[in-house]
Structure 1
Amino acid sequence: MSRTIDYGNLMHEAMRGLIQKVLQDVAENGLPGAHHFFITFDTSHPDAELADWLSDRYPGEMTVVMQHWYDNLDVGDDGFSITLNFGDAPEPLFIPYDAIKTFVDPSVEFGLRFETQEDEDDNAATELAPLPTSKVPAATPAAASKQEDVQSVDEDHAQDAEIVSLDSFRK
């Protein structure tokens, strides 16, 4: 039996840890300057908690914005809870880190995108796609990257991104 290093899962764990650290800092100190976040998550994730009317309205995924008004930000090891305003109605949410599809801070043009795709054997394969710009260096080896256009979370912040597939490192 040969043992291999699972770089794909290690990268996912590291990037989700980065999100956790950023949110923990915001919980303790507030959002600094112009920083704000667009967070897209899988509303059907078994551990995601949101109001029934929100899950009915957004059955696959939803993008939330942490910017001017948020309350009760509590960051844990598996996810974070937050109360956000939806049309003057405060709603509590719990978002597991595993449910996050994109995390974007447009104020510094930084973003991460997590994708799930089916591989040739019909097993779920996961791809991590950092969304760096000239201000933010790529967090992955340049030799494994390729340039592609990426759909932006917010059309006002559309940009080219460097997509890195971690599948090329798997055996």
Structure 2
Amino acid sequence: MAEDDLNTPESLLPYDEWTQDALRHVVVSALRHVAAEGLPGGHHFYITFKTAFPGVSIPDRLKAQYPDEMTIVLQHQFHSLHVDEAATSMSVGLSFSGIPTTLTIPLAAVTSFADPEVRFGLQFHVDVPEPVTTADIPAPQGDDVPARPTDQPADVVSLDAFRRRQKD
């Protein structure tokens, strides 16, 4: 290894992110082509995605079976393949154990895409965001806390004035 290779400065531009985005566009182009024209020849796709990624919509039984990652194959028996207008997610109809299912997968959840017919494959780095819980939200402090004197009871409104009175 040359000494210059060890001293390469860290980029202030997100080249890795831009490269990932460009390669995801290749996946979008392939999916849109197949959605419009069908799979040509022996082409078929293996698509692996993070099942816990926000926006992934798969049946609970599949999520239980594949809690981290799942691979689907688009070859002979799939239908209704669609990539949304903004190219942020795809949906596809598949059958699992004879049960027809529509999957919705954000393209940012895809970890790999392959077309074995032509030995083409892409790998993507995917970080699954941790779910936000109420414990993660900080309690208001200082000026953010609404003022309410503690020695005064909360206002209670009686609904009696609004009820219909019965005629005697």
**Aligned Cα RMSD in Å?**
1.4
Q: How do residues 2-151 of structure 1 correspond to structure 2 at under 5 angstroms? A: 4-76=12-84, 77-116=87-126
TM-score (norm 1): 0.65
Contact (CA 8 Å) 2:93, 2:101: kept in 1 or not?
Answer: yes
1:13 is displaced (CA, Å) by 0.5
Q: CA deviation at 1:103?
A: 0.3
Shift of 1:22: 0.6
Secondary structure of 1:65's counterpart equals strand
Question: Highest CA radius of gyration, 1 or 2?
Answer: 2
Distance in 2 between residues matched to 1:84 and 1:95, nearest whole Å = 13
Q: Which sections of structure 1, spanning at least 5 residues, go unmatched?
A: 118-171
CA shift for structure 1 position 6 = 1.0
More strand by share: 1
Partners of 1:22 and 1:33 lie apart in 2 by 14
- Structure 1: distance between partners of 2:20 and 2:126: 12
Figure out how many residues of one structure are paired with residues of the other and give that number: 115
Query: How far off its partner does 1:85 sit?
Result: 1.4
1:133-164, CA deviations, whole angstroms, 9 ceiling, x for partnerless residues? xxxxxxxxxxxxxxxxxxxxxxxxxxxxxxxx
Fraction of identical pairs, as percent: 40
TM-score, normalised to structure 2's length? 0.66
Q: Residue 97 of structure 2 aligns to which amino acid in structure 1?
A: G
Q: Which structure's residues are more often helix, by fraction?
A: 2
Which runs of no fewer than 5 residues in structure 2 stay unpaired? 1-10, 128-168
Are 2:110 and 2:126, in contact at CA under 8 Å, matched by a contact in 1?
A: no
Tell me, in whole angstroms, the C-alpha distance in 1 between the residues paired with 2:112 and 2:126: 12
CA distance in 2, matches of 1:89, 1:67: 17
Structure 2 partner of 1:126: none
Letter in 1 for 2:61: W
CA drift of 1:116 comes to 4.9
